[in-house]
Structure 1
């Protein structure tokens, strides 16, 4: 177990923060290198991969995509997209994922309830959005849904860590890809 909630938080936030900081510029370079083509001529397109709120915003900021057209993605775009996708998965507030560490550091034992709701959310996403979510539900289930308490479970996070933790929750909703790999 971790020493206290601060250590738990710092370990939990390091991976997603680093992943996000790397994925955004890679994604932006990939957007610049990608081509806007008629939808029927596209090879691998953004429509096939799935998108998030942030990816849609970045693509819309960099490229104008008229009706009937799509973004034929460059391999560098795919690398950035994959970084965003995996960072979003890692931010799920479940078990031993970094999102589970952040959740427990922020909410203590209430993180167990959040994890159960998140797991049910994965199952529902598998039913209603994309069967791909069943794989992640299975992987998380194998790793365990409950997060072990740190040795000092009474410690509190300072305001800066709490603020950064809440920002990561918002980031999760901006980068999660609801229908990955075209469903």
Structure 2
């Protein structure tokens, strides 16, 4: 651990806390607007130095009394994602507009110059690309400058937190159970419509997660030469995977974590949304905001999320 590099950690910590605070205080102020008692945000640290550690498990607020109308439920549900989304977009714009040259990476990884010709390895921990990140890269990064590959953006606090915040926003906007996206979907479509959408997304996440697990198993067999001892049915399965992933390369690298999310949604979060007392229609303006929530989800969602090559 490089204690002398604390200034880099401070920048990251301030940015990640700014994102978490904007999201949770979005919920908080929306709830207070309706006179609903709620706690201030609880920040959940995660300091253990293990893989994929962003230093936090997020933040939560606790609403102390029932939300009694669809309008209030919608406003509270969407306020957090919109606030966090805006902050992350600002982070990405700042990060892309102020990108240093390639020498910045060489200062961190001098071995790229010492052991090769300066090329950045294609292996390592990758952050999955998203529609929004790709769009912003084209709009705000210097077209003649250096754009770090997705396996190096963790060295750039604004890009790292911007990507991570959008990823968290996308997970919160999944239209399932009592996630923020679940509140929004229930407020627009009601009980039956919400449950239908929730089930569809459960199956989508389950399939994506299973594809990720299948590909990891296929790579393990391939890299360990275990295929030489496979016979019969086992070898047939391996050959099927080999053909399948060669035929559909876009399905490589799916995030196995979606399988975990599908299980959590099914058995912990639950797919159904409890009814509210006042089910009056939320109106056209809020439904338009619901479309914006869908745009946020699609722009921030990454099917391969975080993966290793």
Alignment partner, residue 78 of structure 1:
160
Go from structure 1 to structure 2 and tell me whether the alpha carbon gap of 1:120 and 1:36 turns closer, same or farther (over 3 Å shift): farther
Q: Please, what TM-score do these two structures have when normalized by structure 1? A: 0.87
The residue matched to 2:149 in structure 1 has which SS?
A: strand
Contact 1:34/1:77 (8 A) holds in 2 = no
Pairwise CA distance, 1:57: 0.5
Partner of 2:177: 95
User: Can you give the 5+ residue segments of structure 1 that lack an aligned partner in the other structure?
Assistant: none
Number of aligned residue pairs: give it: 180
- The alpha-carbon distance between structure 1 residues 34 and 182, as it changes in their structure 2 partners (threshold 3 A), is farther
Per-residue deviation at 1:35?
Answer: 4.9
Pick aligned residue for 1:23 from 88, 95, 101: 88
Deviation of the 1:167 alpha carbon: 1.6
Corresponding residue number in structure 1 for 2:56: none
**Distance (whole Å) between structure 2 residues aligned to residue 120 and residue 61 of structure 1:** 35
Q: Where is the helix percentage greater, Structure 1 or Structure 2?
A: 1
Q: Which runs of 5+ in 2 are unaligned?
A: 1-65, 103-116, 212-253
Q: Which residue matches 2:72? A: 7
Query: Which protein, 1 or 2, shows the higher relative CO under an 8 Å CA cutoff with sep ≥ 6?
Result: 1
**Which consecutive segments of 4 or more residues in structure 1 shift more than 4 A?**
35-39, 42-45
How far does the alpha carbon of each residue in 1:7-36 deviate from its partner, in whole angstroms, 9 at most, with x for none?
A: 110111011111101111012222234456
TM-score of the aligned structures, taking structure 2 as reference length: 0.53
State the superposition RMSD in angstroms.
2.7
Q: Check conservation: 1:42, 1:70, Cα contact below 8 A.
A: no
Trace 1:26-105 onto structure 2 (pairs within 5 A): 26-35=91-100, 37=102, 40-41=119-120, 48-63=126-141, 64=143, 70=149, 72-73=152-153, 74-105=156-187
Q: Max radius of gyration: which structure? A: 2
